[in-house]
Amino acid sequence: MAKSRVHIESLRIRLPRSMRQQASAVGRSIAHDVASHIATATSGRTGSTRIVELSAGRVNNADRAGELAAKKVSGVLNDRNRK
């Protein structure tokens, strides 16, 4: 079984003020989506990858925050794997 380590030092997502009460739920959703996209993007690869800083931009919908962040992370990982 191949092992791959991915370390994201900083992931920045701007949420509207109206989502402050939902911050914990949004954080769990983002973490789950990012983890599943990382697993897909690094399947079958070995080694370690470090992402120093990544910005997912501004999010207006709490349901799409995790999806947007996950797509940004998997895009960076796929770009690095092609080299």
Q: What is the pTM of this model?
A: 0.67
* 82: confidence class by pLDDT, cuts 50, 70, 90: low
pLDDT for 51-65, tens place per residue? 788 787 777 777 777
Q: Counting Cβ atoms within 10 Å, is residue 49 exposed (0-12), middle (13-18) or buried (19+)?
A: middle
Q: What is the domain partition of the chain in residue ranges?
A: 4-77
How many Cα atoms are found within 13 Å in the side-chain-facing hemisphere of 10? 7
Q: For residue 1, is pLDDT > 60?
A: no
Q: Which two tokens stand for residue 64?
A: 């799409």
Which of 21-33 are b and which e, b meaning 16 or more Cβ less than 10 Å from the residue's Cβ? eeeeebeebbeeb
